[in-house]
Amino acid sequence: MHITQGTFSFLPDLTDEQITAQAKYCLGKGWSLNIEFTDDPHPRNTYWEMWGTPMFDLKDPAGLMYELAECRKVHAGRAYIRVSAFDATPGWESLRLSFITDRPAEEPGFMLQRQERGGRMIAYTTRAYAADRPAGARY
């Protein structure tokens, strides 16, 4: 399977040139970029691991691409990596863009567990097959 979190998951994987263009767009808007990675693809896993702190003072997309390359050296093929852009404008103060740049070589997907309750109600639990193994040894 292919998880479709992030802004561009229905497109072919972005090239470095395409990632650079998106980074340039975000920096042009005054947003701060950051890189995160995880080996837990659950849709409610909000807090991916941060690759350093957000690059608040970055001006040149090359800085992002350098850090992305460093992150890939450690995690490529074994984790998801995403780039996000944070907007500190009053009344927003949240992400403006967030897209996956790298995926594990294989994505085993999710199991949907159903717990039957009374009155035809079902309690649903989504469980990533990858999470059966300990963190760090999942992909």
Partner 1 sequence: MGNVSATAHKSRYDAGVMKYKEMGYFDLDYQPKNTDVLVLFRITPQDGVDSEEAAAAVAGESSTATWTVVWTDRLTACETYRAKCYRVDPVPGQEGQYFAYIAYDLALFEPGSIVNLSASIIGNVFGFKPLKALRLEDMRLPVAYVKTFDGPATGIVVERERLDKFGRPLLGATVKPKLGLSGRNYGRVVYEALKGGLDFTKDDENINSQPFMHWRDRFLYCMEAVNRAQAMTGEVKGTYLNISAATMEDMYERAEFAKELGSAIVMIDLVIGYTAIQSMAKWARRNDMILHLHRAGHSTYTRQKSHGVSFRVIAKWMRLAGVDHIHAGTVVGKLEGDPFTTRGYYDICRETHNPMRLEHGIFFDQDWAGLRRMMPVASGGIHAGQMHQLLDLLGEDCVLQFGGGTIGHPMGIAAGATANRVALEAMVLARNEGRDILAEGPAILHAAARGCAPLAQALEVWKDVTFNYASTDTPDFVPTLTPA
| Cα distance between residue 24 and residue 137, in whole Å | 34
Amino acid at 29: K
What is the DSSP annotation of 9-67? TTSSPPPHHHHHHHHHHHHHTTPEEEEEEES---TT---PEESSS-BTT---HHHHHHH
State which residue, 70 or 109, has the beta carbon closest to partner 1.
Answer: 109
| Cα distance between residue 139 and residue 117, in whole Å | 34
Task: Out of 53, 93, 118, 137, point to the residue binding partner 1 (CB under 8 A).
Answer: 93
| Cα distance between residue 95 and residue 87, in whole Å | 6
Q: Is 53 in the site for partner 1 (CB under 8 A)?
A: no
Size of the site for partner 1 (CB under 8 A): 42
Residue window 13-52: x/- pattern of binding to partner 1, with contact defined by CB under 8 A: -x---x--xx--x---------------xxxx-x------
Q: The tokens 């608040």 sit on which residue?
A: 56
- At closest approach, how far in Å is the CB of 25 from partner 1? 4
Q: Is 129 in the site for partner 1 (CB under 8 A)?
A: no
Which residues are near partner 1 by CB under 8 A?
1, 3-5, 7-12, 14, 18, 21-22, 25, 41-44, 46, 84-85, 90-99, 109-112, 120-122, 124, 126, 128
